[in-house]
Amino acid sequence: MELLLAKVWTFWISVALVVSAILLVLSVIGMYLYKVVMPRYPKR
């Protein structure tokens, strides 16, 4: 039973880590676009 719980726990922890890593990458890209690219092209 403990082995099954260990597999289930590691599965859900891996899902949480992957989702948080994807959100981190998207937020870094978004902040780059906001801070670096947007000032190059000012609004009219």
Dump pLDDT digits (tens) for 2-29: 777 777 778 889 999 999 999 999 999 9
DSSP type of residue 12 = H
* Element (DSSP H or E) covering residue 4: helix 2-32
Residue 21 CA to chain centroid, in angstroms? 3
Domain boundaries of the chain, sorted by first residue:
2-40
Residue 17 CA to chain centroid, in angstroms? 8
CA distance 9 to 28: 29
The SS3 call for residue 34 is: helix
pLDDT in the model for residue 9:
77
Residue 25 CA to chain centroid, in angstroms? 5
pLDDT in the model for residue 8:
77
